[in-house]
């Protein structure tokens, strides 16, 4: 009798959160403490929103990363835009 073997294949994908429709809000966080020196970044829908208070440097880092990702995606975009029809 021969030894039994089991071959397994593993596929690793990046763990991403479930996609959610919503809106993004960006404003200056103006309180007695921050005096407008912070950026308020919010994402959410009509049921729940998540906010982050960012320093100007953090906000600029996010903006730069978003711009770079948008340019890269635009350069490799092969999907038709449904609004072009």
What is the domain extent for residue 30? Answer: 23-76
- Within a domain: residue 53? yes
User: pTM of this prediction?
Assistant: 0.60
Q: What is the pLDDT of residue 68?
A: 92
- Within a domain: residue 28? yes
Mean pLDDT, residues 4-12: 65
d(CA 62, CA 55): 11
- Within a domain: residue 44? yes
pLDDT tens figures, 25-84: 999 877 777 777 889 999 888 888 888 988 899 999 999 999 999 999 888 877 766 555
| Neighbouring-strand partners of residue 26 | 41
The count of structural domains within the chain is 1
- Within a domain: residue 56? yes
- Within a domain: residue 43? yes
- Within a domain: residue 39? yes
């Amino acid at each position: 009798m021969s030894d039994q073997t089991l071959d397994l294949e593993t596929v690793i994908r990046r763990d991403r959160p479930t996609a959610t429709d919503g809106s993004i809000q960006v404003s200056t966080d103006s309180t007695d403490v921050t005096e407008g020196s912070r950026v308020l970044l919010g994402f959410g829908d009509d049921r729940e929103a998540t906010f982050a208070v960012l320093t100007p440097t953090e906000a600029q880092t996010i903006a730069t990363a978003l711009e770079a990702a948008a340019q890269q995606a635009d350069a490799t975009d092969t999907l038709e835009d449904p609004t072009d029809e």
